[in-house]
Structure 1
Amino acid sequence: MQTTTLSFSNLHNHGELFANLFRARKQSFIIQKNWDLPEADDMEFDQYDTPQSRWIAIHDKGDVLAGIRLTPTTARCGIYSYMIRDAQKGILGGSIPQDLLDEEAPVEEQTWECSRVFVNHAIPQKLRRKVHFKMVEAMTGAARELGATRLIALTGASWPRWYGRCGLDAVAMGRKMWIDDGEFQCVSIDLSDKMH
């Protein structure tokens, strides 16, 4: 099992991995979860997949096992910034409630948003925990390289059960809310002790 952090500047070094990550996202979000998201050429994407973002792929022999997208909270592309902030500002048309945060969404160089997190549905249950640990390891490693000391994420509301087990120090940033197929909540993940 390998982890690779992809960017527009290095994706040419990794063959089909970038496209395979977007194909795996389609499988996870459009086919499995039945979310209404943009797709083309058998890949899921959205307005936040820009050169400002980074994508973490956990993969084995060409198969993408899991993925994460990291976007700086300082990102700007047309009317868009990052998903949580744009939802709060009402730019996403109400697909995510505007009152998802207890305070104004941050715009800080050291804070990045973690989104489009998934684990391939075909991963056997006995390997999922190992994949989760690899995801956390890769995410904190990429954050270290990017200079992030905090991540924010809209995640499943069951996060307190497994964040601690994975070594993540997180606190809620807003209320629990039902979106599409489940209960979600915004969290702030403190990475400052992972920067050494």
Structure 2
Amino acid sequence: MQTTTLSFANMHNHGELFANLFRARRQSFIVQKNWDLPEEMGMEFDQYDTPQSRWIAIHDLGRVLAGMRLTPTTARCGIYSYMIRDAQNGILGGSIPQDLLYEKAPSDPQTWESSRVFVSHDIPQSLRRKVHFGLVEAMTGAARELGATRLVALTAATWPRWYGRCGLDAEAIGRTMFIDDGDYQCVSIDLSGKMH
């Protein structure tokens, strides 16, 4: 099992991995979860997949087992910034409720958003925990390298059951809400304890 942090600057060094990550996202979000998201050439993508973001892939022999995207909360591309802030500002057309946060969405160079987090549905249960831990370790390491001391995420409302086990120091920063296929909640993940 390997971990790679991808960017527009280094994707050419990793063959098909970048495209395979987007293919795995399509499988996870469009095929498995039946979310109505943009897709092309068998890949899922959205307006936040820009050179400002980074993507983490957990992979083995070319197969993507899990992944996520990290986007700075200072990002700007046309009318878009990052998913949580754009939802709060009503830019996403109501697909995510505007009242998802207790306070105003951050715009801080040391705060990044974690989004499009997935673990492939066909990973055997015996390997899922190892893949989850690998993804969390890669996320915190990559975020720290990018200068982040905090991450914000819209995640499954079950987060209190597994964030602690993964070594994440997190707190709710918004209400629990039903979106598409389940209950979700915004959280803040403190990375200051992960500084080296």
Give runs of aligned pairs for residues 52-91 of structure 1, distance below 5 A.
Answer: 52-91=52-91
- Partners of 1:143 and 1:118 in 2: CA distance: 17
- Partners of 1:191 and 1:160 in 2: CA distance: 17
Per-residue CA distance 1:41-60 (angstroms, 9 max, x = gap):
00000000000000000000
Compute the TM-score of the two structures, normalised by the length of structure 1.
Answer: 1.00
Per-residue CA distance 1:14-58 (angstroms, 9 max, x = gap):
000000000000000000000000000000000000000000000
Specify the SS of the correspondent of 2:35.
coil
Whether 1:47 aligns to 2:60 is no
Specify the SS of the correspondent of 2:128.
helix
Match of 1:19 in 2: 19
- Partners of 1:53 and 1:109 in 2: CA distance: 13
Match of 1:153 in 2: 153
- The RMSD of aligned alpha carbons is 0.3
- 5+ residue gaps, structure 1, are none
Report the alpha carbon displacement of residue 144 of structure 1 after superposing the two structures with TM: 1.4
Q: Which amino acid in 1 is paired with 2:100?
A: L
Specify the SS of the correspondent of 1:85.
helix
Give runs of aligned pairs for residues 39-188 of structure 1, distance below 5 A.
Answer: 39-188=39-188
Q: Name the % identity.
A: 84
Q: Which amino acid in 2 is paired with 1:63?
A: R
* Number of residues of Structure 1 aligned to a counterpart in Structure 2: 196
Compute the TM-score of the two structures, normalised by the length of structure 2.
Answer: 1.00
- Runs in 1 of length 4+ with deviation above 2 angstroms? none
Specify the SS of the correspondent of 1:136.
helix
Report the alpha carbon displacement of residue 150 of structure 1 after superposing the two structures with TM: 0.2
Report the alpha carbon displacement of residue 125 of structure 1 after superposing the two structures with TM: 0.7
Specify the SS of the correspondent of 1:68.
strand
Q: Which amino acid in 2 is paired with 1:99?
A: D
- 5+ residue gaps, structure 2, are none
Report the alpha carbon displacement of residue 118 of structure 1 after superposing the two structures with TM: 0.2
Q: Which amino acid in 2 is paired with 1:13?
A: N
Specify the SS of the correspondent of 1:152.
strand
Report the alpha carbon displacement of residue 195 of structure 1 after superposing the two structures with TM: 1.2
Q: Which amino acid in 1 is paired with 2:69?
A: R
